[in-house]
Amino acid sequence: MCIFCKIARREERAYVIYENEKAMAFLDINPLSKGHTLVIPKEHYENVLEVPSDVIKDVFEAIKVVCEKLRVFNPDGFNVVSNVGKQAGQVIMHAHIHVIPRYRDEGENPIKFGKPIEIDLEEVYKALV
Ligand code: AMP
Ligand code: ZN
C-alpha cells in the first residue's frame, strides 16, 4: 500500500489539519513555505486526472478550507498545483494537490514554469478544437 493510503487510513503519522468524507489534508513533510499542505483523495488514484468528480468535489472543498485555515499565517497568495506524471515532477503516485501559501518576503519563488516556447498558436488551437 502506498504511503498516502497509509496516511489516509491513519496507519502512518502525519499532521492532518482537515478531512471530510473523501479527502484529507496534511502538512507536506518537506515544506516549500510555512503551511505547505497536501490534499489527497482518501482512496488511491494514481493522479488527479484519475479522480472521479464526486471525489474531486470533496478534494476541492478541502482545498478551500485549507486556504482559509492558512490565512492564520497571513499569506499573500497561494500556489494550488498538482504534478501529473514523473515528467511533471510527480514522485508520489497517489493523487495529491499542493497548497503552498506564498509570502511577499519569500526569497526565490520555487514554482517556475520556465521560459515560454516559440510556437504557432494557430496550429495548436486547430489541433485542439
Ligand atoms: P510530488 O513531487 O508532487 O509527488 O510531491 C510529493 C510530496 O509529498 C513532496 O512535496 C514530499 O515532500 C511529500 N511527502 C512525501 N512523503 C510524505 C509524508 N510521509 N508526509 C507528508 N508529505 C510527504
Ligand atoms: Zn495510495
Q: State the SS3 of 59-119.
A: HHHHHHHHHHHHHHHCCCEEEEECCCCHHHCCCCCCCCEEEEEECCCCCCCCCCCCCCCCC
Residue 106 — pLDDT band, cuts 50, 70, 90? confident
Q: Is the CB of 92 under 6 A from ligand 1?
A: yes
The mean pLDDT value of the chain amounts to 95
Percent of the chain with pLDDT over 90: 90
Q: Is 116 in the pocket of ligand 1 (CB under 6 A)?
A: no
∠ CA 45-48-50, rounded to 5°: 55
| Active site members | 96
Domains along the chain with CATH numbers: 3-128 (3.30.428.10)
Question: Which sign, positive or negative, has the C-alpha torsion 56, 57, 58, 59?
Answer: positive
Residue whose Cα lies nearest atom 1 of ligand 1: it is: 90
* Residue of the CA atom closest to atom 3 of ligand 1: 90
Q: Which residues surround ligand 2, an ion (CB under 5 A)?
A: 2, 4-5, 44, 94
Half-sphere exposure of 61 (CA within 13 A, CB side): 14
Put simply, whether the predicted model's pTM sits higher than 0.85 gets the answer yes
